[in-house]
Amino acid sequence: MDRIFSAPLRIQLLISLLLCAMSPAASAQDPSPPEDPSEPLEGEDEEEDDKEEGEDGEEDEDEGDEETELIEGEEDYSVDVIGERLTNPGRAKTRVERKDIEIRLPRSAPDALRYEPGVYVQQTAQSQASPYIRGRTGQQTVLLFDEVRLNNSLFRSGPNQYFFTIDSRTIDHIDVMRGSASTRYASDAIAGVINAVPIEPTMDPKEDGLRLTSRGMFRYATADNETGGRVQLDAQYGPRLGFIGGFGYRSIGRLESGGIVYSPRDGSIPEVPRFEDDDRTQLGTGFDEITSDGRFVYRLTPKQRLVLAAYDYRQRDAPRTDKCPPPEAPFNECLKYDEQDRTVVYARAEGDFGEWAKWGRLTLSFQRQHERRTSERPLSFTINGGRDDVNTFGVALQSETRRFKLAPSVEGLLRYGADGYHDRVSSQAWLIFTDLDITRIRSRGQYIEGSTYSWGGAFSEGELLLWEQLVLRAGGRASVIRAQADQDVESGTERVDRTWSALVGNAGVEWWATDWMTLLGNVDQGYRAPNLDDLTSRQQTGPGFQFENANLEPERSMTLESGVQLFSRYLELDAWVYRSTLDQAIARAQRRAEECPPNTTACNSSRSLFQLVNLDGQAVIWGAEGGAKLVLPHGFSLRATVSYAWGDGPNPGDRPDDPNLNFEERVPLSRIPPLNGTVEGLWRSAYGYYVGFGYRWATLQDRLAISDESDARIPFGGTPGFSVFDVRAGYRYDPYFLVSAVFENVTDEAYRYHGSSVNGPARGLILNLEVGY
């Protein structure tokens, strides 16, 4: 399929965006630039505020004072911070701010997480990326957009691309919470939660007319010839109604890498990815992207507001790199996501609704995830196609009471909520003979047409503050989940009608030991009920063909973690150790051809066959991670992170009959990231200039699961280590102008994140320009 934008059209669009952004008519006001350039700029003021809040946005001592004020009923509960109220106090977490994104210039929302401790971003395609948190990803992490769940019942067991379907240009910040968290976030919160929070309209309570401001963003990258941009309108009408919205697009070409990443064991060249003749430019990369969004905010009262928002993401012609072409296949065979769309629409009421809902939020949401794939073999005139849609209707209530004084030096509050989501699935598959122009519809798609998946639950968490230095927390959740799918006789698909219920809990302690040190400990349970992907899907995955298991049971996790946080004027440090256990873990077990479902030739013909099973025993992941930030005089700062995870579990294979054959009782868990870390340095002038660097490194990962051994994304013997150095520079003249650049991969390293199909970008330049009024 042709790219949706031709080159001339792309240029026209760029020019249009530029004109639109620079149009004086776009602004009803004429803000004057600061008369004195030496005056601190608006963004810098914000930055100072950010520093006071702490890097990861946690409540600090000042916030504690604010809470005290709340008790006294003197608070001014500004609606502008309503979105910030949802916190996960006492947990291991970090935040990626908008200003970080503007400096790092990530290629996607997941790419923005590469500098977060405990997070490792795998890429099966240039148009896909899946963040691993503490060694788990996909179904075992919860992805949120403004607290609306992106997770649905079609999320795959391995890495998935769905966090990529968030336009990073609409993100204000991304919160990453590590560790099990099903009490708050329900099913799937085995290893962590990622919440992307969008930008808000600028709201001036004193505005009494129409205010319009616009912004244009333009971007170019050399490694993949990326060109794109966004136009954005920020408007306010009167003191109550605000709007922010925009349109964006990107056209991205094939990604040039630093070269081939060789097998660490024998130096062989991996089958994935395949390259053009230059041995640098990767086949199966490149895509187009269109985004649009709109967000209305209406202030009911100074302490309450309504939000109506819609975000639409459309990706076109995005090849899956490890299947475009597949290993050993002809050069022109390709699996491509012709369409990958996500639409999220939600309405929300939030604010202060009284002392039992001092902060409350009710959200009604609708989400549509759409995929259309084609696997084309031009040499034999065939196209295998598939389409999967899932519509998700959701409702979520979250609330927090005011802080009550229970006894002298004892205060408490309660967080509680209820939520429910309902998925309805449509799925179809077909085969086209292009030489005959004949299409044959298959009896079932990757999933079963008309499948449904519903879940609901309620949670409550209590918090006690003792003697103003010890915080105790505990909570629990009850959930019910139901999965239904019809039988398909022709393909031998069993009917699914399963219901599970789950009870989980958590507890934590936080001791503000000194003014500069906090010690934390948590125990939190996670669970994940099998979803429709586990129960009904048949698909070619990276390691091989995977077929369904309608008899799976939920997996359950428990995270024990302990952390220390240090705060001083110059140093912030956050370090954690953890141990997560996973019972009845759902994992891929190798299968024989005779175990394939009937009438599934694709199963019989696949090199490796897998079925998801509950492991009989306990899987364990333990590790350590942390970050430190050094704030130095004269605008210098330095930040470093390091992460390590180690995981193993029961061998999912059957013990061979022959006792002489080697059989390991426990084997590594799949795609656990290697020891890795980052270093960032930055110097910012008072005049808006900045210069910095980013450095990422990882060691060899050669602890491979059985399924990893057959995964073409992993070089023979493991993924080699790497170190990549970027230089960053830019100039900000708020709110009118921002130019930022990254000279990436200075040493032109050939590198790959473990489990990825795509090698990292070659040495090149990323330029970002923003202009606005």
Contact segment (CB under 8 A) with another protein among 74-82, 200-208, 603-611, 733-741 equals: 603-611
Q: Is 647 in the site for another protein (CB under 8 A)?
A: no
Contact segment (CB under 8 A) with another protein among 377-385, 485-493, 521-529, 631-639 equals: 377-385
Residues 507-546 that bind another protein (CB under 8 A): 540, 545
Would you say 95 or 444 has its CB closer to another protein? 444
What lies within 8 Å, CB to CB, of 773 at 6+ separation is 24, 26, 27, 29, 30, 31, 213, 214, 215, 735, 736
Q: Let me know: does 574 contact 563? Beta carbons within 8 Å.
A: yes
Q: Is 159 in the site for another protein (CB under 8 A)?
A: no
Residues 410-439 that bind another protein (CB under 8 A): 431, 433, 435-436, 438
Would you say 76 or 277 has its CB closer to another protein? 277
**Which residue type is seen at 340?**
Q
**Which residue type is seen at 711?**
D
Interface residue with another protein among 23, 514, 568, 604 (CB under 8 A) is 604
Among the listed residues 312, 316, 301, 318, the one whose alpha carbon sits nearest the alpha carbon of residue 367: 312
Q: Is 491 in the site for another protein (CB under 8 A)?
A: no
Considering Cα of 48, then 50, then 56, then 58, what sign does the dihedral take? positive
Interface residue with another protein among 233, 483, 603, 712 (CB under 8 A) is 603
Would you say 60 or 271 has its CB closer to another protein? 271
x-or-dash pattern for another protein, window 260-299, by CB under 8 A?
A: ------x---------------------------------
Among the listed residues 474, 361, 458, 447, the one whose alpha carbon sits nearest the alpha carbon of residue 419: 458
x-or-dash pattern for another protein, window 334-373, by CB under 8 A?
A: ----------------------------------------
Phi, psi of 768 (to 5 degrees): -135, 130
Interface residue with another protein among 546, 590, 614, 701 (CB under 8 A) is 590
Contact segment (CB under 8 A) with another protein among 61-69, 174-182, 374-382, 763-771 equals: 374-382
Among the listed residues 480, 490, 482, 373, the one whose alpha carbon sits nearest the alpha carbon of residue 429: 373
3-state secondary structure of 112: helix
Would you say 468 or 654 has its CB closer to another protein? 654
CB of 273 to another protein, least distance (A): 14
From start to end of 99-152, where are the E strands?
119-122, 130-133, 141-145, 148-149
Interface residue with another protein among 83, 216, 228, 326 (CB under 8 A) is 326
Q: Is 23 in the site for another protein (CB under 8 A)?
A: no
Would you say 260 or 418 has its CB closer to another protein? 260
Considering Cα of 24, then 28, then 30, then 34, what sign does the dihedral take? negative
Q: Is 661 in the site for another protein (CB under 8 A)?
A: no
Distance of alpha carbon 704 from alpha carbon 717, whole angstroms: 8
Would you say 282 or 606 has its CB closer to another protein? 606
Interface residue with another protein among 19, 22, 81, 379 (CB under 8 A) is 379
Interface residue with another protein among 202, 304, 343, 382 (CB under 8 A) is 382
Contact segment (CB under 8 A) with another protein among 40-48, 204-212, 327-335, 403-411 equals: 327-335
Contact segment (CB under 8 A) with another protein among 79-87, 604-612, 620-628, 667-675 equals: 604-612
CB of 719 to another protein, least distance (A): 19
Q: Let me know: does 641 contact 92? Beta carbons within 8 Å.
A: no
Helices 61-71/42-53 angle, 10° precision:
80
Would you say 12 or 605 has its CB closer to another protein? 605
Among the listed residues 538, 543, 625, the one whose alpha carbon sits nearest the alpha carbon of residue 576: 625
Q: Tokens representing 760?
A: 């990292």
CB atoms within 10 A of CB 500: 17
Chain length of the chain? 773
Measure CA 708 to chain center.
22
Q: What would you report as the CA-atom Rg of the chain, rounded to the nearest whole angstrom? A: 26
Distance of alpha carbon 316 from alpha carbon 300, whole angstroms: 40
Q: Is 48 in the site for another protein (CB under 8 A)?
A: no
3-state secondary structure of 208: coil
CB of 440 to another protein, least distance (A): 6
Interface residue with another protein among 206, 569, 592, 634 (CB under 8 A) is 592
3-state secondary structure of 49: helix
Distance of alpha carbon 67 from alpha carbon 470, whole angstroms: 15
CB of 320 to another protein, least distance (A): 13
Q: Is 332 in the site for another protein (CB under 8 A)?
A: yes
CB atoms within 10 A of CB 437: 8
Q: Tokens representing 21?
A: 């952004």
Distance of alpha carbon 237 from alpha carbon 375, whole angstroms: 49
Q: Is 329 in the site for another protein (CB under 8 A)?
A: yes
Contact segment (CB under 8 A) with another protein among 64-72, 131-139, 302-310, 593-601 equals: 593-601
Interface residue with another protein among 3, 85, 370, 377 (CB under 8 A) is 377
Q: Is 440 in the site for another protein (CB under 8 A)?
A: yes
Distance of alpha carbon 431 from alpha carbon 437, whole angstroms: 10
Would you say 25 or 438 has its CB closer to another protein? 438
Interface residue with another protein among 25, 206, 407, 601 (CB under 8 A) is 601
Q: Up-side HSE of residue 7: CA atoms within 13 Å toward CB?
A: 2
CB of 332 to another protein, least distance (A): 7
Distance of alpha carbon 339 from alpha carbon 229, whole angstroms: 20
CB of 530 to another protein, least distance (A): 24
Q: Is 634 in the site for another protein (CB under 8 A)?
A: no
Distance of alpha carbon 169 from alpha carbon 101, whole angstroms: 9
Interface residue with another protein among 222, 225, 304, 384 (CB under 8 A) is 384
Would you say 559 or 606 has its CB closer to another protein? 606
Helices first, then strands: H and E counts in the chain? 8, 36
Distance of alpha carbon 57 from alpha carbon 55, whole angstroms: 6
Interface residue with another protein among 23, 605, 685, 747 (CB under 8 A) is 605
Distance of alpha carbon 723 from alpha carbon 241, whole angstroms: 48
Measure CA 343 to chain center.
16
Q: Is 206 in the site for another protein (CB under 8 A)?
A: no
Q: Is 380 in the site for another protein (CB under 8 A)?
A: yes
Q: Is 333 in the site for another protein (CB under 8 A)?
A: yes
Contact segment (CB under 8 A) with another protein among 125-133, 171-179, 320-328, 557-565 equals: 320-328
| Binding footprint of another protein on the chain (CB under 8 A) | 266, 325-326, 328-333, 375, 377, 379-382, 384, 431, 433, 435-436, 438, 440, 540, 545, 590-593, 596, 601-609
